[in-house]
Amino acid sequence: MMQRASLACAFLACLLLPFDTIPVDNILVPRASVYPVLVGAALWTASGGFAGFWREQRIFVCLVGLHCFWMLAATLNGLYELRAEHGLLFPLARCLADLVSFWAAPLWFASLLGRHERPFAFARWALLSMFALLSLYAVADILHLAGWQKATEFLRATSPLFRKVATSDGWWPPLVWTDGRLRSLCGSPAFLAQLLCILLPLFWHHMRRVPLSGALFLGSALLMIVLIKSLTGFLVLAGLAVCGLFLSREIRLRRRLALGTALSLLATLLLFVYGKTLVAKVTEATGRERFAVMFSEFGIMADHPLFGQGYRLSGRGMEEQLATLPFTMGKEGRMWIAAQAERGPLKNAYPALNAYSRMGAEAGILGLLSFLAVFAWPIWRALHRATRDPEEQTLCFMLLAAAVFWMGEDSHSSFAPYLILGVLNALGARTRVKELATQLSAE
């Protein structure tokens, strides 16, 4: 009974992935998926589901524990430096809430689905159901982009039901996105692009099993990525296509050449249609300011290599780093500087535009390396097996897509990679048990 309830919570956590800004006041973690995870993990713990988990996943547990410990130590160190004039309770509670909510998910998924007969199949159908929900709402968004007033009215009426409007910088997320880009149920087009790019390897795997529905899912996702006009999304899409084309052992040379030609033609068409928009994003003042934030965070990491400045506390060192850059900040950059001065050192007003630079600024080099190790370990284990499992490979590509997207987003911008990390560890543990059983039977 407890296992069924926990599985229902796991399915609900996947289904609620797009809802990243729920309309609840004074809440530390505004992501809807967090709460089914916490309830499910509590039920699983109460039923003794974690029994034997240490023996099965001790390396993964140690890596997660090391990262959480270092993030907490870095935050306490940053708060200690501010002790004379500021309190400790809120930033410490914020750090603990994010650590528990984000890292409970992969640990719980690894334990729960490790006991499931078909962990990958469960995750696949849960994520496909989420994408179906995302696509249905995207229809109204597409009609809004086409100028249909009824669709715009529908979005204005429904958006406040699941999204808290204008919580950051006085405008984000807006009630309706008005710059001609798709966002569906997510808080922004960038969040939607990240979620879709993570799901692309899953759609490819599903298409090989169920060609008709798989092609429908994959085609819908590609259309939505085009309508988002995300530069990072296009880069991830291109990288996944190249990796799948040249690393797959199941595609013959002729098909590789044919697919390569088709992809080249598609890339040419996309550059022709959206080339000016994408170039403008890189060259405009806003683009320069975003790179400035990233390089400034790396500068903070260089100045504070051991502990950084603490979780969500790196904003206090940004203005000093920005002053060393060879250009002045524009309108958006000045807005960030003014917001930081208004909020004070306990809240970071600068957006997280690169997960790796932000992690380094907040937790130092060891914090960044421990974060990378948590994701690198199961990927390395899966890709270095004597017999590669296609399901494990699919999950690895999903995490690699997230890793690339984190070059332009915060590591907390989507809950999906953490759930997928748990599924990959569950599948890896089961595969390891099967390999040991095969070795014992052979002996």
Residues 141 and 182: beta-carbon distance below 8 Å: yes
DSSP H or E segment with residue 315: none
Residue 247 is predicted with a pLDDT of 56
**Residue 337 to residue 104: CA distance in whole angstroms:** 34
Decide which of 403 and 343 is more confident: 403
Which 8-state DSSP code applies to residue 172? B
- pLDDT of 285 > 50? The answer is no
- pLDDT of 39 > 50? The answer is yes
Residue 327 is predicted with a pLDDT of 66
Residue 282 is predicted with a pLDDT of 46
- pLDDT of 51 > 70? The answer is yes
Residue 211 is predicted with a pLDDT of 86
The answer for residues whose C-beta is within 8 angstroms of residue 33's C-beta and 6 or more apart is 13, 14, 16, 17, 19, 105, 415, 419
- pLDDT of 401 > 80? The answer is yes
Q: What is the mean pLDDT of the chain?
A: 83
Residue 138 is predicted with a pLDDT of 95
- 269 pLDDT tier (thresholds 50, 70, 90): low
**Residue 160 to residue 417: CA distance in whole angstroms:** 26
The answer for residues whose C-beta is within 8 angstroms of residue 16's C-beta and 6 or more apart is 32, 33, 36, 130
Residue 283 is predicted with a pLDDT of 45
Decide which of 238 and 20 is more confident: 20
Residue 106 is predicted with a pLDDT of 95
Tokens 């640990």 belong to 107
Residues 341 and 315: beta-carbon distance below 8 Å: no
Decide which of 215 and 170 is more confident: 215
- 131 pLDDT tier (thresholds 50, 70, 90): very high
Write out pLDDT tens, residues 152-196.
999 999 999 998 887 766 677 888 888 888 999 998 898 999 999
Give the residue-averaged pLDDT of 125-134.
96
Q: Is omega for the bond preceding 173 within 30 degrees of 0, making it cis?
A: yes
- Nearest CA to 233 out of 291, 168, 283, 188 is that of 188
| Residue 408 dihedral angles phi and psi, to the nearest 5° | -130, 10
Residue 153 is predicted with a pLDDT of 94
| Residue 325 dihedral angles phi and psi, to the nearest 5° | -80, 155
Least confident of 170-174, 285-289, 322-326: 285-289
The domain ranges of the chain are 59-99+121-285+352-442
Write out pLDDT tens, residues 88-120.
777 888 899 999 999 999 999 999 998 888 999
Residue 365 is predicted with a pLDDT of 95
Decide which of 21 and 395 is more confident: 395
**Residue 364 to residue 146: CA distance in whole angstroms:** 46
